[in-house]
């Protein structure tokens, strides 16, 4: 789980979500980290043996492999990073063979890892290309090995060569095993995708069958509805025939009504003339009524004037009554005074 987490850290999120790119990206990162991780071990070993050129070449090659995985995280270019890592391995192996004795070097076995790496991290075409380059490099080193002065001297004791050969074989075995495990994992992933595709295909087939059954049921329902519509159409035709017969009867009645209407129209004309005569008489009566109303209006004015005079007369009568009462009071006082005078006399 930890190794998977480390590997996924070098792979951008969009590539991890892509089934076509995720597997080659993980393979590329795995090879780069593995080869770049074991390179320092071999580099330290050769430095301890006094072979600094070999140690420096392996160290630089390991850095190049680690740089390839980092480029994948930065750029997301899976194919480019895969070719970059393969190139770093090829250059590193060529350098190791060159400074370590040519075709008889303990490092020559690493040439076998180049085509395998190219196929696993890139494509088959890339594998064929790198295989051709590897064969060409082996041929060149074979030719150089035939000339004793063409290659640098190897500062390693002969008794150390078997140990280095064993370590090289162990390292190569680890790399090949890693590539095989990556291939197996990719195969499992591919089988899982195929299984999912098969399940989705079966699901789609079932859905298609259900849809076809539903379409068949819909067609049957439409056929039944068509028959019902045909029956309804026949019934409508019969009803329309009955309606037409009734319409013809109504036309006869309408013609009869037209005759009666003509007679009524003649009678209406006579009634109209009588109504006109009555209207004229009514107009004359209206004028007489207007004159009577005007006469009544003038009579009302006279009555109103008389009422006003009567009201004034009533006020004068009230004043006269007041004066009469005053005279009566004075007379009563006079009589009282006369009576008093008589009594005193």
Element (H, E) at 164: helix 161-344
| 181 and 310 both lie in a single domain | no
In this structure, the chain runs to a length of 345
* CB-neighbour burial class of residue 292 (10 A; exposed 0-12, middle 13-18, buried 19+): exposed
* Distance, C-alpha 317 to centroid of its chain: 107
**Residue 317 lies inside a defined structural domain of this protein:** yes
- The pLDDT value given to residue 323: 81
**Residue 226 lies inside a defined structural domain of this protein:** no
| 173 and 298 both lie in a single domain | no
| 36 and 184 both lie in a single domain | yes
- Show which of 153, 181, 196 is a domain's final residue: 196
Residue with tokens 């072979």: 51
**Residue 221 in tokens:** 């329902």
* CB-neighbour burial class of residue 8 (10 A; exposed 0-12, middle 13-18, buried 19+): middle
**Residue 19 lies inside a defined structural domain of this protein:** yes
- The pLDDT value given to residue 260: 53
| 173 and 29 both lie in a single domain | yes
The answer to whether 93 and 105 are in contact (CB under 8 A) is no
**Residue 88 lies inside a defined structural domain of this protein:** yes
pTM: 0.53
| 192 and 322 both lie in a single domain | no
The answer to whether 36 and 66 are in contact (CB under 8 A) is yes
User: CA–CA distance from 110 to each of 94, 169, 182 (Å)?
Assistant: 9, 8, 19
Per residue in 55-70, pLDDT (tens digit) is 999 999 999 999 999 9
- From the list 78, 112, 116, 110, the residue with the least C-alpha distance to 97 is 110
**Residue 245 lies inside a defined structural domain of this protein:** no
The number of distinct structural domains making up the chain is 2
**Residue 207 lies inside a defined structural domain of this protein:** no
**Spatial CB neighbours of 58, under 8 Å, sequence gap ≥ 6:** 39, 40, 42, 43, 46, 92, 96
| 14 and 125 both lie in a single domain | yes
DSSP string, 19-55: HHHHHHHHHHHHHHHHHHHHHHHHHHHHHHTT-HHHH
- The pLDDT value given to residue 139: 93
| 145 and 17 both lie in a single domain | yes
- From the list 64, 98, 96, the residue with the least C-alpha distance to 83 is 64
What is the CB neighbour count within 10 angstroms for residue 169?
13
Range of the domain at 132: 2-196
**Residue 242 lies inside a defined structural domain of this protein:** no
Write phi, then psi, for 283 (nearest 5 degrees).
-65, -40
Beta-strand ranges (E) seen in 83-189 are: none
| 165 and 299 both lie in a single domain | no
Q: Which residues of the chain have pLDDT under 50?
A: none
- Show which of 154, 172, 196 is a domain's final residue: 196
- Show which of 138, 171, 196 is a domain's final residue: 196
| 308 and 185 both lie in a single domain | no
- From the list 38, 31, 151, 20, the residue with the least C-alpha distance to 87 is 31
- The pLDDT value given to residue 315: 79
| 169 and 35 both lie in a single domain | yes
Rg (CA), the chain: 67
- The pLDDT value given to residue 292: 62
**Residue 68 lies inside a defined structural domain of this protein:** yes
| 192 and 309 both lie in a single domain | no
């Amino acid at each position: 789980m930890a190794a998977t987490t480390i590997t996924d850290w070098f792979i951008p999120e969009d590539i991890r979500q892509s089934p076509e790119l995720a597997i080659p990206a993980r393979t590329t990162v795995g090879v780069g980290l593995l080869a770049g991780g074991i390179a320092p071990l071999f580099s330290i070993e050769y430095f301890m043996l006094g072979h600094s050129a070999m140690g420096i070449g392996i160290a630089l090659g390991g850095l190049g492999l680690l740089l390839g995985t980092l480029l994948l995280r930065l750029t997301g270019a899976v194919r480019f990073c895969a070719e970059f890592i393969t190139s770093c391995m090829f250059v590193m192996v060529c350098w190791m063979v060159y400074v370590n004795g040519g075709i008889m070097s303990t490092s020559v076995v690493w040439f076998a890892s180049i085509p395998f790496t190219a196929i696993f991290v890139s494509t088959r075409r890339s594998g064929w290309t790198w295989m051709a380059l590897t064969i060409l490099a082996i041929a060149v080193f074979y030719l150089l090995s035939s000339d004793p002065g063409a290659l640098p001297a190897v500062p390693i004791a002969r008794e150390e060569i078997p140990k280095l050969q064993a370590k090289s074989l162990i390292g190569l075995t680890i790399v090949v095993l890693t590539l095989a495990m990556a291939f197996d994992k990719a195969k499992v992933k591919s089988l899982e995708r195929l299984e999912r595709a098969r399940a989705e295909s079966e699901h789609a087939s079932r859905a298609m069958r259900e849809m076809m059954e539903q379409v068949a049921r819909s067609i049957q329902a439409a056929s039944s509805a068509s028959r019902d519509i045909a029956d309804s159409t026949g019934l409508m035709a019969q009803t329309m025939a009955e309606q037409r017969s009734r319409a013809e009867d109504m036309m006869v009645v309408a013609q009869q009504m037209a005759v009666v209407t003509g007679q009524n129209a003649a009678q209406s004309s006579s009634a109209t003339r009588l109504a006109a005569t009555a209207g004229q008489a009514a107009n004359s009566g209206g004028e007489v009524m207007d004159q009577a109303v005007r006469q009544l209006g003038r009579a009302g004015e006279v009555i109103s004037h008389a009422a006003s005079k009567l009201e004034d007369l009533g006020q004068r009568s009230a004043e006269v009554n007041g004066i009469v009462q005053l005279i009566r009071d004075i007379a009563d006082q006079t009589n009282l005074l006369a009576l008093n005078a008589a009594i005193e006399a």
